[in-house]
Amino acid sequence: MKINFEGIVGQKQAVEKLKRTLKNNQISHAYLFEGEKGLGKKDIALKLALVLNCTGDDRKPCNKCNSCIKMAGGNHPDVKIIEKDGIIRIDEIRRIAGEMQLKPYEGRYKVYIICDADRMNIESQNALLKTLEEPPSYAVLILLTTRGDSLLPTVISRCQVIKLYPENPEVIKYYLIENKKIDEGQAHMLAAFSGGIAGRAVELLDNPDFYYRREKIIEICNKLLTSSLFGVLEQIVFFEEQRPHIEEILGLMINWYRDLLIYSETKNADFITNIDKKEEIDFQAAKIDPVKIRDIIFIIEKSKSDLKSNVQFHLNMEVMLLNLREVLSDGNSGRSEI
Ligand SMILES: [Zn+2]
């Protein structure tokens, strides 16, 4: 019997663990998938539900049987996904527990996938415990969460816990090249920015705001080298306009200067994030002493941490730009302080 979890990006350890339990017929009545948003918890849960109910003989999923066809259409009567915006209340859990007592309509297993299981309040979790204590033989409950610590230890101890971790960016890069048909440079850049989270990389790929912000930041870093003081201070407009995304913006800026630093010190483009902007990196890196780049990163990090303090936003950005310009112009004295 071949079991296939095709379509899942990476997560080898988790997938192998699940495959083993399926092969050995040690299917648990309750699973807890824990990991950051974008790692594929729901995809893996759906794949598990697909394999559990597939009636194929030599490979699962066979993609041909009645169950596989219904799963592909998203309308398998024995696989339910619970996805709530707010708190998952006790009524909802009681309804699920009641439904679970009824045998599956056509599948072998009745699978309930509870997304954001940490949205269950204590009452709901206690209600769920009763189901976990005496589950019907055909029931499989899959809880998904980004924060396992917000579930009761008694709930966790009744689940088989499967942890998902960020992937090596290389895995994400090749996934993007093969499945999203983009070139290597763009895939490398997105994989690096994704922090090893496939879902985040895909989100960035289709997010025009991300590209716009990155272009603007690279332009501003260029202006810091070439513009007049007035030209530099004019850039505050952009920071004001992007205020809701300021952490991301400053993150992009830090990332850019890290690239310049790595490139200046190694001359190796393999380690840089913005590989699709190599010409601009070459240009800017040649103009700045690496020692100064460290100061620059420090200044931006300071402004980033000041966002959380009482420092006025406009003043914070102004001081940052003035300090950056100060470091980048030849003189290296008279840094502004808030
Ligand atoms: Zn099948």
The model's pLDDT over 152-211, given as tens digits with 9 standing for 90+, comes to 999 999 999 999 999 999 999 999 999 999 999 999 999 999 989 999 999 999 999 999
Residue appearing with tokens 């913005």: 274
How many CB atoms are located within 10 Å of the residue 105 CB?
9
Buried/exposed 36-53: b ≥16 CB within 10 Å, e otherwise: bebbbbbbbbbbbbbbbb
Tens of pLDDT, residue by residue over 242-284, are 999 999 999 999 999 999 999 999 988 888 999 999 999 999 9
Task: Please give the helix or strand (H or E) that residue 162 lies within, else none.
Answer: strand 160-163
In this predicted structure, the answer to whether residue 333 has a pLDDT above a threshold of 60 is: no
How far CA 45 is from CA of 113, 160, 274, in Å, comes to: 7, 13, 34
CA quadruple 110, 116, 121, 122: dihedral positive or negative?
A: positive
Q: How far is the CA of 26 from the centre of ligand 1 (A)?
A: 20
- Asked if residue 58 has pLDDT above 60, the reply is yes
- Which pLDDT score is estimated for 329? 85
Q: How far is the CA of 58 from the centre of ligand 1 (A)?
A: 10
Residue 270 has what pLDDT? Answer: 83
Residue 336's pLDDT band, with cuts at 50, 70 and 90, is low
Residue 21 alpha carbon to ligand 1 centre in Å: 18
111: CA distance to ligand 1 center in Å?
Answer: 16
pLDDT at 334 over 50: no
**Which residues, other chains included, contact 298 with Cβ-Cβ below 8 Å and sequence gap of 6+?**
none
Q: Name the residue type at position 14.
A: A
What is the whole-number distance in angstroms between the Cα of residue 52 and the centre of ligand 1?
A: 9
Measuring CA to CA, which residue among 40, 39, 47, 57 is closest to residue 18? Answer: 47
Question: How high is the mean pLDDT of the chain?
Answer: 93
Per-residue pLDDT tens for 104-149?
988 899 999 999 999 999 999 999 998 899 899 999 999 999 998 9
Q: Give the residue, 334 or 47, on which the prediction is more confident.
A: 47
Q: Are 143 and 30 in contact (CB under 8 A)?
A: yes
Ligand 1 centroid to residue 71 C-alpha, Å: 9
In sequence order, what are the residues at sequence separation of 6 or more whose Cβ sits closer than 8 angstroms to the Cβ of residue 77? 70, 104, 105, 106, 107
* 167 CA → ligand 1 middle, Å: 29
Task: Examine the pLDDT at 218 and tell me if it is beyond 60.
Answer: yes
Q: How far is the CA of 144 from the centre of ligand 1 (A)?
A: 24
| Residue 68 and residue 56 in contact, taking contact as beta carbons nearer than 8 Å | yes
